[in-house]
Each structure stands twice: as structure tokens, then as C-alpha cells.
Structure 1
């Protein structure tokens, strides 16, 4: 039975365009449309779709306001359509905190060279989202400006790097990272490197939001910057992130090489760069997400000494894709639910 989709967009042309592409996918069926947020709320309740494609910028009631009401009156999986602008990125991050499953950047033209890829991504995300069991969104208070970010002393942050935590995630990742990083009451005395599948601008907005919530400083990685303990580095959109030796320490490497596992940034690229660094204790983690990025290099890394490999447990994943692929391929030595991840990794760090 096809997944029932409600399409919400204020443009008549865009609604027709989306219907054409979505209905062409045998997995999906458009059961209705809405031209603004008010109509979306009404049709979610009357049509009871399995999933909603929701534009952000609309008259009468925008997508964020509609999403808040939908999540209150009849929660349903939602994929947001977002513009590739700084404002669009900020609003998209807010929508993910409200309860949206994921987003796709809205095509600026039906003649765009990547239009088929964008629409294929939307269809895949709509299909996957329909199977998600919605959970209450993570609601956390931002840390006061100027507050101490970690119980790890600044002197320790600048000391020798002996361990690294590397995390890869995709769909559901912003919510999972919010939960994980905000749970670091004392911080970790090592660098944390994160690859989140997300376009440029959106990773900038995500890093800013995580920085406000985490006890550890969070920022987009900069090419050539040295790794420091007690800091979180997020791969910028459209750039692979790797770790390279430099003198007695390590530095970040950014590149725009070919996509790997269908992505740039790629989790496999990050994990691969850590495999030769056998003097370090490396803790590799795959959280919620579609596909299998990171699995190939996690399997390879597990053959090395001083490596811990972890997959998020099915019960806490928004999308049990990347973690499942890691488990099935024999790459994940440990399977841990998200609410136990901080304690588990803290134990690993203390034992290494």
C-alpha cells in the first residue's frame, strides 16, 4: 500500500510540480494539497496522511507555525522544504526542534541541473519518514551567555590529544546530537568530530545551535586548525573533514573531493582518516540516518587496535539505517540507545 502524502506549498505551480514527481514514485501517493498553514492543519485532520511535505515560507500561516499546531493536534511525520539561505537554514533548524523529521532544500527552478536528485531525495525521505514513530521533541534550555562550558579545565583542553570521538549521522541527526551533546555535564577531555549530512549554511546554523546547548564549545571545522581537547568540530556542508598528523599533534583537513557513499561530507572519509592513527584511542559512532555512509570504514577500523565502534540502538533511532547497516556488516562492536550513549562513551574514555 502506497504511503499517503499531503503536499503543502503556496505556489500553484510548485504544488503541481511536486505532485507530478511524488505520484511518479510507486511507493507514494498524493492524497491532498494545501496552499498555506491554516489549510495544512485542517487537511492533516481530515485526510489523515501518513506524511506531509511542508513549505516554510507561506502566507496567512507559515510552515513553522503550522508545524507547531500539527504536532499538538495530530502529530504526523513532516519533511520540510527549505530555501538555501541563511534565514532558511535558521528556520529549518527550528523546525527540526519543533518535531519535523528532516528537510530537503526547495528547488529554485524546475530546470535546475540537480532537480532529479533533489526530488529523488524528497521521495526517499517522505517514504522513510512515514514509518517513523514520533517522539516528543527534545526541549532544552540554552546555556546562559558567558557561562562556563565544561568541568574540563582550559589547561586540559590544550594538552596532548590521546583520544578522539568521531560521530556520523544523517536523518534525525540534529535531534540526536542535541540530546547527546547537551548531556555532557562535565564535557569530554578529547576532541569530538561530527559529520552530519547537511548542505552548507545549514551546518553553520546547526553548529551555532549546538554551541548554545552544549557544555563543550561547538563550531564548524576550519581547514588546518589544530585539534584541541574539549571541543566539538562539525564538518561544514559540502566539505569532507579528515584528521591529519602535524608535528606532535593533529589538525583538521577539509576538501571538496568527490562524494563518497553518496555524500560530501562523508562519514567514511572521516573514519578512514582515523584508521592509520593507531597511537590514538578512537571511538567511532554511527547515529540515526538513512543509507550506509560510515559502515565500510567502521568495518575496516574494527580490525585495528584501540578502536571502539558503536551503533545507536534501533529503539532510539529516528531512522534505523546507518546503525543497522553497521550492525549487519559486523562493524558495530556495541549497540547503545541514545539516552545511554553519553555514559557509555564516558566509560570508554575513562578506560582508555
Structure 2
């Protein structure tokens, strides 16, 4: 089997060396070149035609974001960004995802050597996903035995009679752009929205702030204990599961720092389980692009509790993993393209008699 060829672009000789060691230690990939700046990288791309590029943000001669923008316009290819976990860095990372980068890896602030080595599995997996995603040749999903939503909360259907509707969203790889596309079409009087996106702690607040600046609705990082209001979206923080709860007649947010579910905290399965427990037929579920199967079991529980569920179609997904698994599990009512998702959800809500209106 041909190995995934990777070009490492970073102005730090130490980072280039560490990334090269991590990649070359994988049986299915190899580094075919390293570059200290985008101009050198451009020549190596022409000469060696790598499958995947790892790209730093701040570099001499040309900023990594400027290079990415030119690259995606002239020679699109799979890119995994390497970013420092800072407020400024996270904003830059989201810009990179908007331009077409498949995913990102957070550089540790301290002790870069041991920090990057701890991330070796994550780095390798994101390179594999990038290679698969951009060329639509999906690798078989790696399924390992892991905890289910039972580790965080049991099934306990508690549907107090209510007409208040909610939209419950889950996503992973490629999800930041998919969520943006979805939320930007939500009107100010849309039902409350809960969102779990697989994202490291430190990025979710910046992501919520960015969405808030672009959308007609208010978007915040969930803090727990908030009353869920129409025209508001609540993003799961990177350190905790986001759950839906009831307090009397009101829907509320809750944060839970329990063990990872499907290898993730926050987990889509946990959010969907809580929606099945407390919202039932008042919920509309949406599962977007992502690697793996997180959300499939929870969406089926939502479906059985009376929710109406949408999945993003394969053609518009960066990775058709999570939607595919949810469809296969039998919890999806409709499969639609990303560009039609908001319209279809709002049309369904209008037919249900909710606050949502047609676009």
C-alpha cells in the first residue's frame, strides 16, 4: 500500500524534526520534505506532489494564512494547520478552516517536545482524515470499545408537556464551517440551539464569539445553568459535555465533566441522549460532517423519543462518517445537503408550529 506522503512546513527546526519523527514512525505515512517557509514549500509541492501538507501559521516571507489562501485557489490539497493555543491563534485557526484547511493541531504552549509527542496519535489520525476527506476516498472507520452516554447520564424520558421547540446539533471534522453555514441562516426568532462540536478546550469560546459576530442569532459558549432562549445558540465548551435539562417549564443547559464518550468530551451522543430524555418530540436533531460514529446512538434515541432528525449528505460533507453512521443506525428522517439544511429545518419547524420561519 502506498504511504501517505506529507510535506511539513514550519519555521521552527525543532517542530519540523518532531513532526517528521511522529509521521515517519507511522506505518502508513512518510515525510517527503520539510520547508521553513511557504516559498520553499511552494517549490516542494511542485516537485514532490505531497498528499497532505502540515502548515504553521506564523512564518517568515509569507504568512501561513496568506499562503493557504493562494494554495487553495491555485492548487487545492489537504492541509492540517499547526496552531498555538491562544485567543489570537484560535481566531487564525478558524480563518484557516474557512479557507479550506481540513483540521488543526494545537501546539502546546510549554514543553513542546513532550507535548507534541503526546499528540502523536492525534496528529497521525488528522493526517489520515485529511488525506481521505479531500479526495473523497474514505478510510474504514476505526471503531474501538468505548463508553456510551450511560457513563454520563441514564435514559430517563421526562417529557413535560410543552410547545417550545429546540434544535440539537452535533459535528466533528469539518464541522466549524458546516455549523457556520447552518447558524448564519437561522433567523432571530429561531428556537434555542444546542451545539456539540469536537474541539479542544480554549477554542470553543473563540469559535462562539466568531459565530456571534456573523449570525443574526446570539451565539455563546455554554456556561451551564442558562435558560435556553429563542434566538440563541449554546456551544459546548471543549472541557465538558453539554446536556439539556428541565427546570419546571424551562429548558436549561448543564455541563458535565464525566468521562469521554466515543473518545470525546464533549460528546454528541451525550447531548443527543439528554435531548431524547427531556425534549422528545419538541426537538429537531441535526448531525453534520465528522469522523467516527459519535452521535449515531444518541440520534436513534432522539428518533425513538419522537424527535425529527436531519443528516448532512455525503456530497457536502468533509468526512461522511458521523452522518453515515447515524443513517445506518436508523435514527435519521431526512438526508439533505449542507446548503439546504437550515431551510429544511426551518420548514419542518414551521410545519410543527414553532417559532421558526421559512428562509
Return the alpha-carbon distance in structure 1 between the equivalents of residues 173 and 219 of structure 2.
20
1:155 corresponds in structure 2 to none
Are 2:236 and 1:268 aligned?
no
Equivalences for 1:191-270 in 2 at 5 Å? 191-270=192-271
Unaligned runs of 5+ residues in structure 1 are: 136-159
1:307-350 deviations in Å (ceiling 9; x for gaps): 11221100000111111111122222221111111121012111
For residues 297 and 133 of structure 2, the distance between their equivalents in structure 1, rounded to whole angstroms, comes to: 26
User: What residue in structure 2 maps to residue 299 of structure 1?
Assistant: 300
TM-score in terms of structure 2 length: 0.85
TM-score (norm 1): 0.87
Match for residue 333 of structure 1?
Answer: 333
Distance 2:178 2:323 in 1: 13
Name the counterpart of 1:145.
Answer: none
Quote the Cα distance in structure 2 between the aligned partners of 1:176 and 1:299: 22
Paired with 1:190 and 1:161, the residues of 2 have a C-alpha distance of: 11
Matched, 1:45 2:31: no
- What secondary structure, in the 3-state scheme, does the structure 2 residue paired with 1:243 have? strand
- The equivalent residue for 2:322 is 322
In structure 2, relative to structure 1, the CA distance for the partners of 1:90 and 1:279 (3 Å cut) is: closer
Kindly state the Cα deviation for residue 241 of structure 1 after the two structures are TM-superposed.
Answer: 0.7
**Which aligned pairs between 1:138-217 and structure 2 lie closer than 5 A?**
162-184=164-186, 186-217=187-218
- CA deviations on 1:264-301 (whole Å, 9 max, x unpaired) are 11111111111122565111111001111111111222
Separation (CA, whole Å) in 1 of partners of 2:279 and 2:207: 31
Q: Between 295-304 and 219-228, report the one with greater CA deviation.
A: 295-304
Shift of 1:70: 1.4
* CA shift for structure 1 position 209: 1.3
Structure 2 stretches lacking a partner, 5+ long = 137-161, 353-359
For each residue in 1:182-203, what CA deviation from the matched residue of structure 2 results, as whole angstroms up to 9, or x when unmatched? 223x345310111111112211
Alignment of 1:30-179 (within 5 A): 30-107=31-108, 108-109=110-111, 112=114, 115-116=117-118, 118-133=119-134, 162-179=164-181
Q: Measure, in 1, the Cα distance between the counterparts of 2:163 and 2:33.
A: 55
Indicate the SS of the match to 2:20.
Answer: helix
Q: What do you get for the CA RMSD once the two structures are aligned?
A: 1.9
CA distance in 2, matches of 1:97, 1:278: 33
Alpha-carbon distance between aligned partners in 2 of 1:113 and 1:298, rounded to the nearest angstrom: 35
Report what 1:342 is aligned to. Answer: 342
Q: Is contact 2:18-2:116 (8 Å) kept?
A: no
Q: Deviations over 1:192-230 (max 9, x none)?
A: 111111112211111111112111111111211111112
Give the Cα–Cα distance (whole angstroms) in 2 for the partners of residues 97 and 175 of structure 1. Answer: 6
Give the secondary-structure state (helix, strand or coil) at the position aligned to 1:319: coil
